[in-house]
Structure 1
Amino acid sequence: MNDSFINGLKERLPDDLKESFSQEQLSALKVAFGARKWGQHKIDLRGTLRIWRWRYYFVFLAGRNKRDLTRREQELSRMATTLAIAIFLTFATLLGLIVLYLIKSALGIDLFPNYSLGLWGWFKNQFLI
């Protein structure tokens, strides 16, 4: 049988009981215990915190989502991906412009006479002197 719950249950049972359950009993046990696969996450952080006289538990699970996404979840996923790409491209563009400006300044090219952002002077003082 390829049922991971039933295989796991049989592995934990004593040898003399492993084959004594009927298929109906095994199915009933599977329903009773929920047969969920917990603990197979890349990140599985669980603990308790005691604050004054109360105790609180926390669970942080993270891993690959293997469920089928609803239409709303798919839209949110696309929007989050689009936002992440836009932020990355903005950051990369700004970084590229700063690098080009520093190269221009290092070569002594002056596009606007008597005007400077002050970035080259700061960079020279921090990193080159």
Structure 2
Amino acid sequence: MTRNRSDQQHTHVKQLLNKMDPEVAASFSYKQRKALQKVINTRDWRGHAIDFRPTLALPFLPWSFYIVFLGGVNRRSLTNTERFTAAIVFLASLLIVGLVLIGLVFVALYLLKSWLGIDIFAGESLGLWDYFKALFE
């Protein structure tokens, strides 16, 4: 037997009210319950550009685990703490990307130097050029 959408929406309101103190839940009027149902129905949290929800069920455990990765445009306003955290994460990401790019430039320059046969320190080598040549032989 399948439930229709109205029954599911009513179930969501019931679940919400069941999680409250019974005295508080009983104080809601019909209009307030309908308002709760309307708010629950208009939630926009399901529309993400990236919505990845894999489940891991291990045969020797009675539970299954899930991971949720969501991505998209943030439509809510941020608190000061969230803004500060976002700025720190942005700067850290910028630093990491910058260091990786600088490292790649140094590797490219080292390979170019080795290809041209320039030996800055006689008898010293990182072995990177030999490894790189071996990939194409």
- Report the TM range for the smaller structure's normalisation: 0.5 to 0.7
TM-score (norm 2): 0.60
Name the counterpart of 1:43.
50
Number of aligned residue pairs: give it: 104
CA distance in 1, matches of 2:129, 2:56: 50
Name the counterpart of 2:86.
77
**Identical-residue share of aligned pairs (%):** 38
Residues 96-105 or 55-64, more deviating: 55-64
CA distance in 2, matches of 1:103, 1:82: 31
Q: 1:115 to 1:48 in 2, by over 3 A?
A: closer
Name the counterpart of 1:105.
114
Name the counterpart of 1:33.
38
How much does 1:112 deviate? 0.8
CA distance in 1, matches of 2:66, 2:124: 59
More helix by percentage: 2
Structure 2 residue runs without a partner (length 5+): 1-30
Kindly report the root-mean-square deviation, in angstroms, between the aligned alpha carbons of the 2 structures.
3.0
More strand by percentage: 1
Structure 1 residue runs without a partner (length 5+): 1-25
How much does 1:61 deviate? 3.6
Name the counterpart of 1:67.
76
